[in-house]
């Protein structure tokens, strides 16, 4: 339902498309006949596009992020005509319409298309944008900004050796962004999302009181009383300055659980 975007110079999976588009003018429709030597990757590209057109995630159910890796695992694209094209590559005709050409400075790049320097520069901007959305109580938009910043940093971390200086420096930037993201998810009622991300964070940093506090609130919200109490007590142990907040949360948890037990008894009495 929307035009495809190609960044010239990145040589997207079908390199020939970049060559074809570079020969066109804005508003032009053109037909190109391409020999099989240029169309070998078309089946994998088309598979992803078809899934998007069907409203599905193109990476849904995959074991690998790489299309070729998934082909080795599943031996099929999921579409008979594309499987046949994989077995016997052939020339293809592409009909293209060029809607618009943008200068590099005018185009907001996706994370994967950024250089290391661009990703590092984007992180504080995304962080600030997320904070502005929080002030307006637009938690969904804020979470998206924090998540995008985390993705930038994780991509950079993947090129560093774990637990060495470069990796640790990036991790120190990731942690507050993940906590901000989790706070937004708490506000949105996405408690299992919070449990997943705080637990992952605590596996690396088991002394992070704020992560325990957010996880405790998520546990409390989904009626995991024992886990919530354990996490709240761990918060008070790690950071005595949060003792008052923990006491308040534990009191609220106790009241909620008592109310739930009363409601459960009434419900079960009605059944019999």
- The tens-digit pLDDT sequence of the chain (272 residues) is 678 888 887 767 788 999 999 999 999 999 999 999 998 889 989 998 888 888 877 776 665 445 455 454 556 888 999 999 988 989 999 999 999 998 876 666 677 667 888 899 999 999 999 999 999 999 999 999 999 999 999 989 988 999 999 999 999 999 999 999 999 999 999 999 999 999 999 999 999 999 999 999 999 999 999 999 999 999 999 999 999 999 999 999 999 989 888 877 777 776 65
Distance CA 95, CA 16 (A): 13
**CATH of the domain spanning 116-269, picked from 1.25.40.10, 3.40.50.300, 3.40.50.720, 1.10.1530.10:** 1.25.40.10
Distance CA 122, CA 129 (A): 11
| Cα angle for residues 25, 27, 29 (degrees, 5° grid) | 85
pTM beyond cutoff 0.75? no
Distance CA 257, CA 63 (A): 41
Task: Determine the CATH number of domain 15-98.
Answer: 3.10.50.40
Residues of the chain with CATH 1.25.40.10: 116-269
The residues that bridge with 96 in the sheet, in sequence order, are 30
Beta strands in the chain (DSSP E): 29-34, 92-97
SS3 177: helix
Residues of the chain with CATH 3.10.50.40: 15-98
């Amino acid at each position: 339902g929307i035009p495809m975007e190609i960044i010239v110079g990145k040589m997207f999976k079908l390199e020939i498309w970049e060559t074809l588009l570079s020969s066109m003018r804005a508003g032009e429709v053109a037909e190109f006949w391409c020999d099989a030597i240029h169309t070998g990757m078309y089946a994998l590209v088309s598979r992803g596009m078809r899934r998007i057109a069907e409203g599905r995630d193109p990476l849904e159910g995959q074991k690998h992020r790489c299309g070729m890796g998934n082909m080795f695992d599943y031996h099929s694209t999921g579409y008979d005509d594309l499987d046949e094209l994989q077995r016997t590559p052939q020339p293809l005709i592409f009909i293209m319409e060029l809607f618009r050409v943008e200068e590099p400075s005018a185009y907001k790049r996706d994370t994967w298309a950024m250089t290391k320097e661009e990703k590092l520069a984007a992180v504080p901007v995304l962080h600030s944008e997320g904070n502005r959305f929080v002030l307006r109580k637009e938690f969904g938009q804020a979470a998206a900004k924090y998540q995008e910043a985390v993705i930038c940093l994780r991509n950079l971390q993947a090129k560093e050796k774990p637990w060495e200086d470069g990796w640790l420096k990036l991790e120190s930037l990731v942690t507050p962004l993940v906590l901000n993201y989790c706070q937004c998810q708490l506000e949105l009622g996405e408690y299992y999302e919070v449990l997943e991300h705080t637990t992952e964070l605590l596996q690396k940093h088991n002394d992070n009181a704020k992560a325990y506090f957010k996880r405790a609130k998520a546990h409390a919200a989904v009626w995991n009383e024992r886990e919530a109490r354990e996490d709240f007590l761990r918060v008070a142990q790690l950071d005595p300055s949060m003792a008052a907040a923990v006491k308040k949360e534990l009191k609220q948890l106790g009241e909620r659980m008592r109310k739930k037990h009363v409601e459960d008894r009434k419900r079960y009495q009605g059944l019999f």
